[in-house]
């Protein structure tokens, strides 16, 4: 391929990736990723491995360069780093994330699929979902901008309770592959693509109103409190009393609620420092009004000198949920002995937080078991389902003040909506500066807050019982199915090559 042609392919791939974030919150143009992936698949099919790698990497640079550019904000504003250094760190992350579509594209080119239909409909969608799944756990994982999230408001979201976000992503990539086959693949594929697309749509319609879980007999009046404490003031000792007073005053106005939820580290002090002076009198006051409270609070185990990012239900003040999936370079520094001097500008605590056990039981609040996640953990559906089907509600506490007025809070909320859809549970998402939301089991927003406002939101919610297929099976049917399909198709390609 001539250099000019290579440059055109690389630029086209970059544009395909750069428009992908338009399918995600806050834009919600869910058809854009389908069109972008179809165009990307059309670019990839005739390429040799090195060319495919470059095109895939360019696609990833566009996708993540636009979609996760907000990473620099926390480094620049709260890491005491200059703008050039903050942007450099962000670009390094983007370049690394772009390796996933790059390696996927290289492997697809190495497979040398002779049939365009085999590539567009079979290999490409399966390889796409596997690359996203790998990105979700390899090197602690970064599942941001996974394709399935873009479909939370489309008909394809109906597949979420069955196959989870990766199943939705596979079906979305398959839809894009069918579109590519319709445009490019000769012969019979053109006659099956439209019926196949129609079949996907009909299946989505059939699943849209399918209930996999059951309503209980009780309902709860819940309130989420958004304190809107500026990040640069949150941990100042002189600000602590005012912060606590803000949350107490906002809660006192909602003593008609059964359950009140405060955000991540809403109490800016270690539990043992405020257990007697604040927690105990607050518990007595709430109990007298028959109100339950869930709040984020840091915990210091002074016997082993371990720090935990925790959540506490005042119904059981000795039982904590400890955050399991910590944020690298945010809550702990990987290879601290080597990197502490180099990356000292990052907003990492001087001592790493410790991770909680992955097998923690749900908290009890307002008479129901509650599955809890903290901030970033809402992005990991396979972790949240460990609390199910026991948990009747899901609570996510967060602090997105780190990322200011960027795409991140909107994308974060979109992930919480997918968790509600996958599990058919209400998700109560309380954040410091927004976006707080009460999300119904169908993934719709029942109530939401404004950003950067001190406010509360309330709604009636119904605890649910039972388990969706995704809760029972997790990601393994999708991952195993993709691996099996790729294995069968590669075997067929090899056999065809030998016979040829």
pLDDT, tens digit (0-9, with 9 covering 90-100), for 387-417: 999 999 999 999 988 888 899 999 999 999 9
Angle formed at CA 457 by CA 456 and CA 461, multiple of 5 degrees = 140
Catalytic residue among 132, 323, 377, 422: 323
Which of 14-28, 109-123, 454-468 has the least mean pLDDT? 109-123
Would you say residue 462 lies in a domain? Answer: yes
- Residues 135, 237, single domain; the answer is no
Q: pTM for this one? A: 0.94
- Residues 353, 430, single domain; the answer is yes
Is residue 110 part of the annotated active site? The answer reads: no
- Residues 278, 399, single domain; the answer is yes
- Residues 222, 201, single domain; the answer is no
Would you say residue 371 lies in a domain? Answer: yes
Catalytic residue among 375, 382, 414, 422: 375
- Residues 494, 390, single domain; the answer is no
pLDDT in tens, 172-186: 999 999 999 999 877
Would you say residue 481 lies in a domain? Answer: no
> Residue with structure tokens 């937080």?
353
Would you say residue 476 lies in a domain? Answer: no
**Residue pair 52/108 in contact by the 8 Å Cβ criterion:** yes
Which residues share a beta bridge with 321? 311
- Please report, rounded to a whole number, the percentage of residues in the chain having pLDDT higher than 90: 74
pLDDT in tens, 341-387: 444 545 545 457 888 899 999 999 999 999 999 998 999 999 999 99
- Residues 225, 332, single domain; the answer is yes
- Residues 207, 220, single domain; the answer is no
> Residue with structure tokens 């239909």?
117
Angle formed at CA 488 by CA 482 and CA 493, multiple of 5 degrees = 120
Total tally of structural domains belonging to the chain: 2
- Residues 133, 255, single domain; the answer is no
Is residue 50 part of the annotated active site? The answer reads: no
Would you say residue 477 lies in a domain? Answer: no
- Residues 198, 262, single domain; the answer is no
pLDDT in tens, 104-147: 999 999 987 778 888 999 999 999 999 999 999 998 889 999 99
**337, pLDDT greater than 70:** no
Average of pLDDT values for 467-484?
97
Would you say residue 479 lies in a domain? Answer: no
Catalytic residue among 132, 264, 331, 377: 264
- The string of DSSP codes covering 210-256 is ---SEE-S--EEEEEEE----TTTTT-GGGHHHHHHHHHHHHHTTTT
State phi, psi for 149 to the nearest 5 degrees.
Answer: -60, -30
Which of 12-21, 162-171, 349-358 has the least mean pLDDT? 349-358
**What is the extent of the structural domain holding 147?**
3-211+486-499
Would you say residue 125 lies in a domain? Answer: yes
Half-sphere exposure of 464 (CA within 13 A, CB side): 22
- Residues 457, 352, single domain; the answer is yes
Of residues 262 and 6, more confidence is placed in 262
- Residues 113, 183, single domain; the answer is yes
State phi, psi for 323 to the nearest 5 degrees.
Answer: -55, 130
pLDDT in tens, 63-94: 999 999 998 887 777 766 778 888 888 899 99
CATH code of the domain in which 338 resides: 3.60.110.10
- Residues 256, 391, single domain; the answer is yes
């Amino acid at each position: 391929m001539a250099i000019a042609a290579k440059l055109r392919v690389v630029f086209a791939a970059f544009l395909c990736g750069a428009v992908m974030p338009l399918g995600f919150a806050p834009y919600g143009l869910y058809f854009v990723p389908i069109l972008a992936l179809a165009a990307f698949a059309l670019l990839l099919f005739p390429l040799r491995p090195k060319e495919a790698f470059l095109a895939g990497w360019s696609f990833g640079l566009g996708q993540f360069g636009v979609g996760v550019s907000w990473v620099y904000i926390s480094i620049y504003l709260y890491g005491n780093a200059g703008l050039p250094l903050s942007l450099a760190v962000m670009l390094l992350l983007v370049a690394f994330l772009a390796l996933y579509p790059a390696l996927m594209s290289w492997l697809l080119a190495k497979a040398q699929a002779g049939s365009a239909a085999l590539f567009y409909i079979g290999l490409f969608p399966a390889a796409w979902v596997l690359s996203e799944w790998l990105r979700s756990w390899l090197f602690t994982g970064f599942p941001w901008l996974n394709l399935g999230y873009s479909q939370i408001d489309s008909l394809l979201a109906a597949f979420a309770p069955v196959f989870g976000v990766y199943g939705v992503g596979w079906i979305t990539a398959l839809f894009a592959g069918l579109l590519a086959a319709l445009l490019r693949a000769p012969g019979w594929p053109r006659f099956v693509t439209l019926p196949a697309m129609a079949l996907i749509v009909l299946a989505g319609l059939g699943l849209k109103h399918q209930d996999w879980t059951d309503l209980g007999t009780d309902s709860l009046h819940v309130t989420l409190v958004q304190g809107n404490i500026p990040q640069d003031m949150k941990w100042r000792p002189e600000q602590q009393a005012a912060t606590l007073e803000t949350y107490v005053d906002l809660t006192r106005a909602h003593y008609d609620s059964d359950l009140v939820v405060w955000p991540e580290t809403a109490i800016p002090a270690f539990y043992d420092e405020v257990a007697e002076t604040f927690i105990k009198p607050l518990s007595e006051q709430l109990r007298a009004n028959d109100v339950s409270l869930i709040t984020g609070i840091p915990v210091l185990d002074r016997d082993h000198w371990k720090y935990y990012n925790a959540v506490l239900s005042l119904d059981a003040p000795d039982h904590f949920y400890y955050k399991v999936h910590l944020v690298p370079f945010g809550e702990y520094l990987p290879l601290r002995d080597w990197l502490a001097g180099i990356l000292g500008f990052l907003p990492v605590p001087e001592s790493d937080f410790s991770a909680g056990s992955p097998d923690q039981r749900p908290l009890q609040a307002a008479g129901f078991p509650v599955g809890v996640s903290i901030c970033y953990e809402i992005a990991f559906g396979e972790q949240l389902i460990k609390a199910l089907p026991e948990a009747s509600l899901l609570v996510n506490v967060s602090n997105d003040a780190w990322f200011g007025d960027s795409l991140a809070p909107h994308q974060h909320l979109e992930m919480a909506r997918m968790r509600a859809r996958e599990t058919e549970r209400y998700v109560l998402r309380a954040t410091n500066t927004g976006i707080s939301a009460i999300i119904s089991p169908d993934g719709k927003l029942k109530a939401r807050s404004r950003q950067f406002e001190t406010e509360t939101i309330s709604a009636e919610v119904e605890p649910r019982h039972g388990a969706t297929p995704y809760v029972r099976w997790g990601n393994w049917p999708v991952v195993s199915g993709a691996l099996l399909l790729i294995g069968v198709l590669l075997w067929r390609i090899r056999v065809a090559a030998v016979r040829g």
